[in-house]
Amino acid sequence: MEESFRYCARVTRNHYENFPVGSILVPRASRPFVHAVYAFARAADDFADELKDPPRQLALLGEWGEELEAAFRGEARHPVFVALRETSRSLDIPIQEYRDLLKAFRMDVTVKRYPTFDDVLAYCRCSANPVGRLVLYIHGHKDPELHRLSDRICTALQLANFWQDVEVDLRKDRIYIPRCDMDEHGVTEEDLLAHRADDPFRKLLQFQVDRTREIFDEGRPLCDRLGGRLALEIKATWLGGTRILSKVERIGHDVFRQRPVITSFDKLAILWRAIFWRRDGR
């Protein structure tokens, strides 16, 4: 068991992320659980994104899913699943959260276009929302209302990432802007591939930014419902996500030529605002 958790910690340390996984904001006793969940998701994400062979990708994700089911039957073999099973047993985490994540990774391989915004939200429910719920479980929060608020923040974070990475996703042959919204604003797939940041595209992206900001606002009460270091982490996450939306607007929505990113200065400003958080929103 101890070696399995050490294995997951090594996986976590050896992968770059835009955010610190198992950081000092996470209580020391909980960090091994964070590492176990991360190692599970990291491997599945690599299967979905690093390989360029869909049949092989789906086969590996299928095998990973079989290991998951075996672990929850008490038959864990791989160190990731030995640690994940102990994590889930200790924290009473249902297997469905992990199943949903694997479904999202399979969608990364098989789904490249989304006809409606509801289709995009369905993807977010599997790719993003389980992550927030797992964080809450790790910190001992099982209240359905907290999970509902977390879902809103996580969905908004995923959407903000989509609008930030339009050009990055195009290189992977993925378009997350709903087809119906593109049609309504007079933007074609050819326009995206040509990197046309013209007026129709700017209005289209502003429409997505506005609806994403509303979803962030729906989840904002979670920041005031939690305490301790987790509250600080959630506040910083909310502030970081909304800051990305503001940066998309500041560059005139031309995400083809400049990818909005959180700079070191932004991180300091976000931490400052998280520490001196005001319930009135200022």
Give 152-172 pLDDT, tens digit per residue.
999 999 999 999 999 999 999
How many domains, the chain?
Answer: 2
Mean pLDDT, the chain, whole residue set: 93
Q: Are residues 258 and 178 in the same domain?
A: yes
pLDDT at 281 over 60: no
Q: Are residues 86 and 117 in the same domain?
A: no
For residue range 242-273, what is the model confidence (pLDDT) as tens digits? 999 999 999 999 999 999 999 999 999 999 99
2: left (phi > 0), else alpha (psi -120 to 50), else beta?
A: alpha
132 compared with 229, residue with greater pLDDT:
132
Which residue range(s) make up the domain with 226? Answer: 111-282
pLDDT, average across residues 59-70: 97
From 58, 75, 97, the end of a domain falls on 97
Q: Are residues 136 and 212 in the same domain?
A: yes
**Contact 152/216 with Cβ under 8 angstroms?**
yes
pLDDT score at 17: 47
**Contact 235/277 with Cβ under 8 angstroms?**
yes
Q: Are residues 134 and 257 in the same domain?
A: yes
Q: Are residues 125 and 252 in the same domain?
A: yes
For residue range 90-110, what is the model confidence (pLDDT) as tens digits? 999 999 999 999 999 999 999
Give per-residue burial for 161-176: e unless 16+ CB within 10 Å, then b.
bbbbbbbebeeeebbb
The domain that holds 217 is classified in CATH as 1.10.600.10
- What does the alpha-carbon distance between residue 170 and residue 140 come to, in Å, rounded to a whole number? 39
From 56, 75, 97, the end of a domain falls on 97
Q: Name the CA dihedral angle for 117, 119, 123, 128, rounded to a multiple of 10 degrees.
A: 30
**Contact 1/82 with Cβ under 8 angstroms?**
yes
Q: Are residues 193 and 57 in the same domain?
A: no
From 66, 97, 128, the end of a domain falls on 97
